[in-house]
Structure 1
Amino acid sequence: PGYRFKAVDALMTNFHLPRSTLFMLVAAFSGLETMRAAYAHAIAQGYRFYSYGDASLLFPAHAPAKA
């Protein structure tokens, strides 16, 4: 977390294991608190996780940096 993405303006992915490198990627992209809230909502609503689970469309916490 903390990386400023330069080219990506959206990310479609599934829900990843907590503490995994893939979760760190989405937390860096959309913000850690945003992802914590999204995962809390997903758990409360019974979303499916991992490779064959529900998808999520994520947007960056900040506008992409200019290259």
Structure 2
Amino acid sequence: MKMSTYEILCCPVCKGDLTLKTDKKVILESGEEDVIEGTLRCGSCGVDYPISEGIPDLLPRDRDGIVSG
């Protein structure tokens, strides 16, 4: 997930701000950071959304990590 993408993301449930915890990242030729593994956390809901292989999983879920729906 490119950092430019992170800047426009919000929580899919409450539209709150997400904070980023990066576990693995690379720097692209353009100089932009690309997050490969990590977590996006909604401060309002307290829900974590994983980033795996550079793809954020923003499916709505509860605080226990169970996908809603």
Q: State TM-score, norm by structure 2.
A: 0.26
Between Structure 1 and Structure 2, which shows a larger proportion of strand residues?
A: 2
Larger relative helix fraction? 1
Name the structure, 1 or 2, with higher relative contact order (CA <8 Å, separation 6+): 1
Q: What TM-score, normalized to structure 1?
A: 0.27
